[in-house]
Amino acid sequence: MRSLLWNSEKYEIEITGLATRGNGPVEPESLEKKEQVCKNCILAFITVEEQDNLSETSEKISEEILEMARETGRNLVVLVPFAHLSNNLSTFKIGKIFFDILEEKLHGKIKIERTHFGSDKSLLLKVPGHPGNIRYREF
């Protein structure tokens, strides 16, 4: 599992299409809304890899997310499936299961939003410029 964590002032996406490439069959989630805007949040861009132990890696990334939230004073995390950090991707099915497990681990500790799983997105991101605002993690 690889991730980029961002302390974000503003995050905005617009879904431009459904994904057509992946490791195995592509099964995008149902599309309920085409746009998402979040302010003052921790963004967790996460790539689930083929060899990941879902329980172990979700525990480690949830700890990192909560630590960053405490350090920055943020009370919202946006979970963003982001296949672009690895060439060793898990299947769509395993990736979706990982995000369900991660959301369960964070539930009750911080507000959670999820970004659509299985789509191409345009992205607007505003991150303040000071140390510790962007963190790369591998588990």
User: The domain that contains 33 carries what CATH number?
Assistant: 3.50.80.10
The answer to the question of residue 133 being in a domain is: no
What single DSSP character describes residue 102? H
Of 26, 61, 24, 23, nearest in space to 44 by CA: 61
The answer to the question of residue 58 being in a domain is: yes
pTM score of the predicted model:
0.91
pLDDT in tens, 75-97: 999 999 998 899 999 998 999 99
**Residue 111, token pair as written in the block:** 């507000």
In degrees, to the nearest 5, what angle opens at C-alpha 50 toward C-alphas 5 and 38? 25
Domain limits for position 104: 2-127
User: Would you say residue 106 has pLDDT above 90?
Assistant: yes
Q: Name the H helices within 8-129.
A: 54-72, 92-106
Number of domains in the chain: 1
The answer to the question of residue 137 being in a domain is: no
The answer to the question of residue 115 being in a domain is: yes
| Mean pLDDT of the chain, nearest integer | 92
